[in-house]
Amino acid sequence: MLERLKALIFGGPPPGMPTPPAPQPQEEAEPEPRRRRSRSRSRSESSGEESEEEQRSRLAHDMPGEYERVFGNDEADPQSWIGVDLDGTLSEMSEEVDINTIGAPIPEMVARVKDWIAHGYQVKILTARACIPEGIPPIQAWLKQHNLPDLPVTDAKDLHMLELWDDRGVQVIANTGQPVGPSILDEKPEEEEKKE
């Protein structure tokens, strides 16, 4: 997925995808219809250039559409969904370890979830709290309290999940076992470093 993201940021097709043919010059070509709602144009967009910050912001909101899981018949999977962890991702990590206590919402993530829903994506809360039935009602109440829709709550991934937004996950490069970023397990405690 990192290679796909790089391709989106720096241009060119994602790995494994053929290079698209060069566009042919046309007289007054009609603009392509956007899959997503248009955002207000900034000064740099009106000049045809997009700043690095604008591009990152657009990718943060638009990325899931680029990764719709496609199965054998080349049609987007209508059951696809985006998984969002609760504690530390959608809500602040609470110091209290209590099934009924959920931290304050994280505004940036709440906005992202609402944007995905507005664009027709299915979002599910994927949290360990759902491993027991009593863990689900407090989550549903929290969603309602913070003006989020009644999203499905689960503790399991399936083949239809497009991606998972989680504060604890370590992404790996597909089919390699190589991490994209660091792992807390890669960090050696100071005592171990002194022994070496």
Give the DSSP H/E element, type plus range, for residue 124: strand 122-126
CB-CB contact of 150 with 69 (8 Å):
no
Whole-number pLDDT of residue 155: 97
Residue type, 59: L
Regarding the domain delimited by 76-182, which CATH topology (the fold level of the hierarchy) does it fall under? Rossmann fold (3.40.50)
Nearest to 85 by CA among 113, 45, 118, 66: 113
Give 74-122 pLDDT, tens digit per residue: 456 789 999 999 999 999 998 887 899 999 999 999 999 999 999 999 9
Whole-number pLDDT of residue 94: 84
> Which stretch, 7-11, 95-99, 116-120, 191-195, has highest mean pLDDT?
116-120
Q: CA 47 to CA 49: how far, in whole Å?
A: 6
Q: CA 27 to CA 30: how far, in whole Å?
A: 9
Mapping DSSP to helix (H, G, I), strand (E, B) and coil, where does residue 55 land? helix
Nearest to 87 by CA among 157, 123, 135: 135
Mean pLDDT of 167-185: 91
pTM: 0.59
Whole-number pLDDT of residue 109: 97
DSSP H helical segments within the chain, as ranges? 2-10, 43-46, 52-66, 107-118, 136-145, 190-195
CB-CB contact of 107 with 142 (8 Å):
no
Q: Where are the domains of the chain?
A: 76-182
Whole-number pLDDT of residue 172: 93
Mean pLDDT over the full length of the chain: 75
Whole-number pLDDT of residue 4: 52
Contacts of 19 (CB under 8 A, 6+ apart): 12, 13
> Which stretch, 64-73, 143-152, 180-189, has highest mean pLDDT?
143-152
CB-CB contact of 18 with 191 (8 Å):
no
Residue 46's pLDDT band, with cuts at 50, 70 and 90, is very low
* The Cα angle at residue 4 between residues 124 and 128, in degrees rounded to 5: 25
